[in-house]
A and B are shown apart, each in its own frame.
Chain A
Amino acid sequence: MSEPVTPLAGASFDGLVRVTETGPQGMIVLRCPEDATDAREAATAVTGTKDPALRRAAVSNGTGILWMSPDERLILVPRAKSASTVAEMQAKLAGQHALVADVSDARAIFRLEGDPLMVREVLAKLAPVDMRPDHFEVGEVRRTRLAQVAAAFWLEQEGTADLICFRSVARYVYDLLCTAAVNGSAVKHF
C-alpha cells in the first residue's frame, strides 16, 4: 500500500498557541441505530475505551471514540491499523444495519497547544461555541462550524485541543487557525 500523505505535510505555526497538523490519523466512521449494542461493542472492542456519552470523547493517545451524533461515532485508531480495523468491524457486523467506513484520507486533523485560555480563545474566534472554561469542558466534543466550514474539536486536556475537518478544506482551516493565533491578536476575553 502507498504511504499515507497528510494534506499539509505536518505544517506547524507558532503564535498565541502552537498549531500543528498532526496525523496521519486513522479515522473510521460508524453509523448504526442508537440502540445497536452490537455495533457499539464492536467499536469499544477495537479501541479498548468505553462508548462515549452524549457529546463526549473517549480518547487516549490517539485511540478512542468520539460521539458525533446520536447514530454516529468516529473511531480513532493508528493510521496503519485503520484498514484492518474496518475489516474486523465489518466482519463482526455482517448482516447488521450498520455502516463502517475508513475516512482517514477524507479528513485532516490539527492540534492546538499552548496557554489553556489562549487555546479556548483561538477556537472562540472561529466557532459559535461558548468556550468559557465552566461551559466547555475537557473531553466534550463539539461539531460545529469554523468560519465557513464544518469542523469538530475537543479538548484533550486544558491547553490541548484536537480538531478534525474535511481534507479538502485543510489548508483553509489551517490558515484560519494561524490567523486567529497570530501574535498580537490576543483578546484576552477569558
Chain B
Amino acid sequence: MLTIQCPHCGVQAEETELSPGGEAHLSRFGPGSEDQDFEAYLFFRENPKGVHFERWRHVHGCGKWFHAARCTVTMEVFGTYSAQTTEPPKALRDKISEKRPGWTWRDIA
C-alpha cells in the first residue's frame, strides 16, 4: 500500500485515491522524428529495482497531476513535486542520494 502526499492539496493520499500516470520525464517524439526515437518514446520504459520517478494524478481529490519519486523495492516515497518540470528538483535528488548512495535513473543521478 502506497501513501503519497499530494503537493497541491497536501493530502496524504492513499493509493486508491490516486491514478498512476506511468513513467515521469518522457520527451515526446512525434511526427517527423526518427523511427528509433519514436519507438523509444512509445515503448521503452524504465523498470528499475530501486529509485523510480513516476507521474500520478490525485484523481479522487483535487484532480491535479504531480510527480513522485519512490523506491520500487521498499515502496518508500522520497518525495513529490510539481508536474510542471522536466527533471526532479535538486533538493529531492540530494535527499535520495543520502538514502540510496550511487543511484541512477535514466541520465539522472
Q: Which of A's residues lie within 8 Å of B, judged by CB?
A: 54-55, 68-70, 72, 128, 130, 142-145, 150
Contacts and interface: CB of A to CB of B under 8 A. Distances in A.
Q: Is the interface of B mostly helix, strand, loop or mixed?
A: loop
A73 to B, nearest CB: 12
A69 B8 contact: yes
Given A128-B16, A128-B17, A150 B11 contact: no
A59 to B, nearest CB: 18
Interface in B4-42: 8-14, 16-17
Contact of B10 (A55, A143, A144): A55
Interface residues of B, number: 14
Contact of B60 (A54, A68, A130, A150): A150
Contacts of B62: 68-70, 72, 143
Nearest to B62: A69
B11 to A, nearest CB: 7
A145 B9 contact: no
Given A68-B62, A69-B62, A145 B17 contact: yes
B17 A69 contact: no
Nearest to A130: B12
B70 to A, nearest CB: 18
Contacts of A72: 62-63
B63 A54 contact: no
Contacts of A150: 60
Interface of B: 8-14, 16-17, 60-64
A31 B11 CA distance: 20
Contact of A70 (B13, B16, B60, B64): B64
A144 B61 contact: yes
Given A55-B10, A69-B8, A69-B62, 10 more contacts: A70-B64, A72-B62, A128-B16, A128-B17, A130-B12, A142-B11, A143-B60, A143-B62, A145-B16, A145-B60
A68 B17 CA distance: 15
A53 to B, nearest CB: 11
A22 B52 CA distance: 46
Given A69-B63, A143-B60, A128 B14 contact: yes
A54 B61 CA distance: 13
A161 B67 CA distance: 32
Contacts of B61: 69, 143-144
Which of the listed residues B16, B62, B64 has the most CB atoms from chain A within 10 Å of its own CB?
B62
A142 B61 CA distance: 7
A173 to B, nearest CB: 14
B12 A144 contact: no
A68 B60 CA distance: 11
